[in-house]
Amino acid sequence: MVEHSPSILAFLKQLQRVPYLASKNIYVVAQYFLDLDDQATEKFVRVLRDLKQKVEKCTICWTWKECQKECAFCTSPRRDAQTICVVETWRDLIAIEKTGGYLGRYHVLGGALCPLDGVGPDDLTIKQLITRIDECKELIFAFNQTPEGEATAAFISSKLKDKELKITCLARGLPVGSSLEAMDRLTVYKALSERRVF
């Protein structure tokens, strides 16, 4: 058994910390790495190190970007600076980008309000969002259809009630409890293009 190999045991322990790697799957993943030749192992380690060293969060929209480059979402002249789509996570941004139907800017909150888990307004980039909306005409809430998503939308809109700003949210009809990243492209596209006033 693996107890005899402290190295394998230590590796399995790391894999267990990776989200979505169920306890059954960690052996499949461990087997993959055990079978890698030296060259492929080197490459994997190098790519992971590069990822950690060369990628950072944009301090305007809070999505990931290359340290040496400008953020493509915040600087592209093809993107409408007056529309900001607010999402919980980077993964939700990807779900919207995949529709190919959105050409505004983004703001990644870093999660949703969840007092039970200790996530309050200061844990998210809500303050940063409020400081950047003066140039914005429409704010789209593209949150997951969960109580946390609803609470986050209500909280942000309460902070903006004195601003002259159109606030919209995704169309009704999305499954309750669903996350954007789990939905198919067409559903996300429809929810976005048929958005309603919040």
Contacts of 125 (CB under 8 A, 6+ apart): 62, 107, 108, 109, 110
For the CB of residue 58, give the shortest distance to Zn ion in the complex, in Å: 3
Closer to Zn ion by CB, 62 or 190: give it.
62
Binding string, residues 38-77; x marks residues near Zn ion by CB under 5 A: --------------------x-xx---------x-xx---
Closer to Zn ion by CB, 73 or 141: give it.
73
The residues pairing with 119 across neighbouring beta strands, listed in sequence order, are 114
Closer to Zn ion by CB, 67 or 197: give it.
67
Most distant CA pair in the chain, distance? 66
Rounded distance, CA 113 to CA 126, Å?
A: 10
Sole residue written with tokens 């998210």: 124
Rounded distance, CA 138 to CA 146, Å?
A: 22
For the CB of residue 131, give the shortest distance to Zn ion in the complex, in Å: 14
Q: How many residues sit in the footprint of Zn ion (CB under 5 A)? A: 6
For the CB of residue 128, give the shortest distance to Zn ion in the complex, in Å: 11
Q: What are phi and psi of 171, to 5 degrees?
A: -60, 155
Residue ranges that bind Zn ion, judged by CB under 5 A: 58, 60-61, 71, 73-74
